[in-house]
Chain A
Amino acid sequence: MTTTRFHAPERLDEAIRLLAADDEARPLAGGQTLVAMLNADLLSPSQIISLHRIAALKGIEKRSDGSVRIGAMTTHAGLARSDVLRDGHRLLAQAAGRIGHEAIRNRGTIGGAVAHGDPSADYPPALVALDAVIEAVGPKGKREIPASDFFQGFLTTALGQGEIVAAIILPPSLNQARTHYEKFARVEGDFATVSVAVALWRGGVRIALGGVGPVPVRSAEAEAELQAGQLSDAAINDAGALLVAASDPLDDVRGSADYRRRLIPRLVKRAIRAAQAKDAR
C-alpha cells in the first residue's frame, strides 16, 4: 500500500531535486487542478511537492528593459489587479480576471495553469498573443521557452522531467500594443468555448485563439491579411475564414465544433473592435 508524501521545501533546487528523482511526484502550486484531479481519483502521486514556500517563485517585477517577470506562484487574482501590468500587458491581467471564480482566482497560480497546458484555459492564447516567454527550471538548469513553442498539445507542454515553470516573461515590445481578451463561455467561470487574444500595433497584428485546437491557434496568413487590410470589415472576414481553417475544434459539452467555427470570425471581430476602442487612452 502506498501513501502520498508531502514536502514543502524552501529552496527551488530542493524542489527540483525531489521532482527529478521521482516521476510519480507532482508539484503543487495553487492546487486548483491538482487537488480536483486527486479528488476524482485521476491521479495518485507518490509525493506532492508544494512550491508555496519558495521565495524565488513569487512576485511581479518590471525590469529595466520594460519587460515584466511574473513569478510562477503569482495568483490569478494577484495578476488581475496588478498595477505592474500596464497598457498592452493588461491583456494578461484581463485573461487572469476571467479564470474560474473569485475563490479559484485567489488560489490558482499562473505557473500551475500554464504548466497544465489546457487549450481551453485563459492564459495560453493570451501568452501567445503577447509573445511571452516561459522561464522553466529543471535539473539541467534554467531555460527560456517562447509561449508559441511551450504549448505542444492537449495538456502537453515542453516541460521535461523534473522541470517546472519558474516565471513568465512579457517582452517590452508588445506593451505598446492595443490588446484585448475576448472570452465566450456557457456561464461565467467556465472554460472557454472560444476565446480570442488580440494584440494590435503599428507594425503588426497578432491573434491567438483558445478552445479551438489542442494548442493556441494562430494563422500568419490571417494576421498578414488584417495588417494589409487595415482591420477593415472585409479583412476581418477573410482573416476569420483563415483562422477557422487553421483551427481544429472538438465537439464537447461546451459547444459543437461547428458552433466553435461559427464563433471564431464573430468573436475575432468583436475582439479587434474592442482592442481598437482602447486607442483613446
Chain B
Amino acid sequence: MNAPGAPIGLSLPRREAGEKATGAALYAGDMVMAGMLHGAIVQSPHAHARILGYDITEAMALPGVRAVVTGDDIEFRYMGLVVKDETAIAKAKVRYIGEPVAAVAAIDVETARRAAQLIEVRYQPLPAVTTIEEALRDGAPLLHEDFAKYTKIYDAPVGRGNLLAHSIATQGDPAKGFAMADAVVEETYAIAAQYHAYMEPCAALAAFDPSGKVTVWSSTQSIFRTQANLHECLGLPMTKIRCIAPRVGGGFGGKSEATIEPIAVLLAKKARAPVRLVLSRNQDMTAMRSRHPGWIRLKTGATREGRLVARECELWFDGGAYADDSPAVMNFALYFVRGPYDIPNVHCEGHAVYTNRMRAGAFRGFGNPQMTFASESQMDALAKKLGMDPIEFRIKNALPKGARWFGGQAVTESTLVEALETARDRAGWIKPLAPAPLGKRRGRGVAAMAHSSAFLSTGAIVRLQNDGTIAVQVGAVDIGQGSDTALAQMAASAFQLPVEQINLATPDTDSAPYNSGTNASRVTFMVGKAVGEAAFKVRDQIIEHAAAMLGVTRDEVSLAPGGRVVVTGGSRRNAEVSFADVAARSIWAVGGPVTGSSAVMASHAMDKSHTKMSGWLSFEAVGIYTFGAQVVEVEIDEVTGAVEIMRAVCVHDVGRAINPGATVGQIEGGFAQGLGYGLFEDMVFEDGRLANPSFMDYKIPSALEVPKKIECVLIEKPEASHPFGARGIGEPPLVGAAAAIANAVANAIGKSITRLPLTPERVLRAMLEE
C-alpha cells in the first residue's frame, strides 16, 4: 500500500503549527464581523428553583444593550443525544448552580457583562438533591417531572424518581463462577469529577443572513451534533442552520454536544445582528460538563491457579442535571467491566442518576477510566492474594484473538500479551527498584487497558482539482490532536503526493458529508477509512482517464510519485500524463469532474446468547478493540504523602502510526491528563456549588508534575479493516493511567487506596494507619 516516499509513518509537522505558534490561528473567540455584538450570560445561583419571572428593564435601559434573552423567548423544545431533556436556555426551572438562565447582547463585552448583572430573575427555591444518595431517597424532589414524556433512545427507568438509566448485563453463571473461586476480592471504588480543562473555553459566533439562515462558528467537536442540537432546541430546519468549526482549542469530550451555540443563536436572532459569546473560565467550569463522579462496587473471583472465574459489578454515576451522554457513558463503563480479560461469568448493574449539579458528559475514555481504575486496582489486590506477579496474572487472563468481547462481539486482534510483555521488559519489572532515599518510599505498578476505535458513521468526499492537487472534504474537526495532518498524510499516500498538495476543507455542514464527531478515538480510524475509500475511487478514475489519454489499457499504467501516471511497459513505456492533464480532460472534455465519495458505518454484531442485556443502548456501532499496558514508578514523601511520578512506560497498540510524532503526543498528553485524574484533579461540589471554579483552586498537571520522560512504545501491527492500518489512540493512554499510578502507590505503601484522586492527604492517612 505504502509506496516509497509516501508520507505515512513520517512525523510531519502539524499543518497549522505555524499559525498556532505565532498566534495567528483564528478561534471562534477571535472572529469578528461587521456589526457584531458581544454576549454575556446570567447563571443560576440556585441548585433547584422555579423561575417565577424576569425583570430586564434595567438591563435593557443600559446604553449599548441590544437584546436580552430568557426562557420566555423559547418554547419547550428539547435537545439531547440519548434523552431530549434540555432547552436552549433554562425555562420554567433551573436545575443546577451555574445554569445559564438569561443572556444579553451588547455593543461590547463590558456593557454586556454589566447588563447581565442588571437582569433580575425571580426564583422560588425548591429542595435540591446534590448527591446520588439524596436523589434516590424516597420522596426526593424530581429534577424532571416530564421524564416519562421525553424522547429517549434506550429503555429508560420511567417512574423511578431521579433514576436516569439502569442497565443490567449477565454473561455465564456468576454464582457458579464464584463457587469455583479460591480467592475473592470485593471493594468499593470512589471516583471524582474531572474538568475537561480544554485551553479554549466554549465560544460561538452566530450570524443570520438575509435569507434567515444562521451560520454558527463555534468551538466544537462536532459540527453535525451542533447542527442537530440547534435544530432540536430551536425548531429551525437544518436547511437554515450552517455550522462551521474554525480552529478549536481542545475538547476532550466536553464539546461533543451543544455548548453555548443555542444561546448565541437566540441572541443573534433577537438582536438582529451577529453575536459572539465567549465563556470565562469560571463560567465554563460552572456551566458546562465534567467527567462522571460516582462509585463502583466490584467483586472478582479467581482460582488458585490464577484463572479469573467470576466478576460482579454495581456502578453508580452522578449524571448531574441533564442526561447529556450519561446513559451512554454508564453503558460504556459497563462494557469494559471485564477490562481486557477473559472472565467467563459476569453480572453487572449500572445506574445513572439525575442530581442538581452541573451535568456530567463525555470525557476522554467515556466511562472506561473509572471502570479501569476499579478493575485494575482489583487485579492487583487479587494477584497479591494469590501470591502471583501482577503482570503474570494479567497475561494469564488476557483476552485472546478470536475471543468474545463482553456483549458478544468478536475480538479480531489482541496485542495485550505483547503489550504487557513489552512494558515488563522495558520497565525492567523483574529487577527490584533502587532503594528509596531516606524519608521516601518507592513503588511500581502496572495497568492494562483496552479501548475501542470504531464508532458510528462518517463520510468523505475527495476531488481532483484543476491543477492536479486533491481536495478532501470531511466533517471531522481537528480539535488540536492533529487529525487534519493525519488525514492529509493518508490522502497524500493514496495519491503518492506530497502532503502540501492535499487541501483539507474547513469543517462545514454546508459542504461536508456527515460525521458524528471528533471523539471516541475515531477520527484517524473512522474518518481515515472514509478518506481512503473515497481517495481510492478518485485514484481509479485518474488511472482510467490516463490510460485512455495514453492509448493503453488500465493495467499498463500506474501512479508515480508527484501526481503522474506512467506507462509501465510496452512500446509506450515511460510515457506519462500529469494529474492536471487528467483534470483538464475530465472537466473540459470527457467524464466530468473526478470526484469520489464514501460512507462508512461501524457495525459489529453483538450476541444476546453470549451476554444478556437490558436497559442498554445499542453498541453495535462500537468495536475494534485496542490494547495497551502502562508501568509507572512513584516516589512518595513520607512527611507529606505527596506522590511523584518518577517514570512512566506506556505501551500501546496503534495499528500503524500515521504520524508517529503526533501518536506519541497523544500518548504523552493522555498519560498527563490521567496523571491529573489520578493524583489531584477533583471538582469539589458543596451543596451543588463548585468550590474550585478556577485554575487557582482546581489544578491540572503542569510540565513540572509530568515526568520528564514518558517512555512511549508503539506496537505496530496494521489493523486489517483499515486502509492504512491505523487504530485509534486518543483515549487509551488516559484510560489506565490513574490505575497504574494507584497500583504503584499501593506497592510503595503496602496498602491500596480506593478513592480518586490520590491526594497527599489520602496517601499520608493510609501510611499512618498502617
Contact = CB atoms under 8 A, between A and B. Distances in A.
Question: Interface of chain B, helix or strand or loop or mixed?
Answer: loop
A270 B705 contact: no
B199 to A, nearest CB: 15
A259 B761 contact: yes
Interface string A240-281: 000000000000110110010011001101100000000000
A36 interface: yes
A189 interface: yes
Interface in A161-192: 184, 186-191
Contacts of B640: 184, 263, 266-267
B578 interface: no
A40 B694 contact: yes
A253 B697 contact: yes
A187 B701 contact: yes
Contacts of B282: 40
Contact of A101 (B694, B702, B765): B702
B694 A186 contact: no
A187 B699 contact: yes
Question: Which of under 10, 10 to 19, 20 to 34, or 35 or more describes the interface residues of B?
Answer: 20 to 34
A190 B702 CA distance: 11
A101 B760 CA distance: 21
Interface string B39-68: 000000000000000000000001100000
Contacts of A188: 702, 704-705
A64 interface: no
A246 to B, nearest CB: 20
B614 interface: no
Interface residues of A, number: 25
A253 B698 contact: yes
B642 interface: yes
Q: Which has the most chain A C-beta neighbours within 10 Å: B62, B694, B704, B759?
A: B759
Interface string B282-299: 100000000000000000
B156 to A, nearest CB: 35
A41 interface: yes
Contacts of B154: none
A3 B108 CA distance: 13
Interface in A15-47: 36, 39-41
B184 to A, nearest CB: 34
A1 B765 CA distance: 54
B701 A186 contact: no
Interface in B688-720: 691-692, 694, 696-699, 701-702, 704-705
B692 A253 contact: yes
A1 B639 contact: no
A184 B110 CA distance: 38
B639 A186 contact: no
B753 to A, nearest CB: 15
B441 interface: no
B114 interface: yes
B684 interface: yes
A255 B114 CA distance: 35
Contacts of A259: 760-761, 764-765
Contacts of B761: 255-256, 259
B114 to A, nearest CB: 7
Contacts of A263: 639-640
A161 B298 CA distance: 61
Nearest to A2: B114
Nearest to A39: B280
B639 A266 contact: yes
Interface string B253-267: 000000000000000
B113 interface: yes
Contact of B764 (A40, A262, A269): A262
Contacts of B697: 253
Nearest to A255: B761
A1 B108 CA distance: 13
Interface in B668-684: 680, 682, 684
B680 A186 contact: yes
B704 A187 contact: yes
Interface of A: 1, 3, 36, 39-41, 101, 184, 186-191, 252-253, 255-256, 259, 262-263, 266-267, 269-270
Interface of B: 62-63, 110-111, 113-114, 117, 280, 282, 639-640, 642, 680, 682, 684, 691-692, 694, 696-699, 701-702, 704-705, 759-761, 764-765, 768
29 contacts: A1-B63, A1-B111, A3-B110, A39-B280, A40-B280, A40-B282, A40-B694, A184-B760, A186-B680, A187-B680, A187-B702, A187-B704, A187-B705, A188-B704, A190-B699, A191-B696, A253-B684, A253-B691, A253-B697, A253-B698, A255-B760, A255-B761, A259-B761, A259-B765, A262-B768, A263-B640, A266-B639, A267-B639, A267-B640
Given A41-B113, A259-B760, A266-B639, 5 more contacts: A39-B280, A187-B702, A189-B704, A259-B761, A266-B640
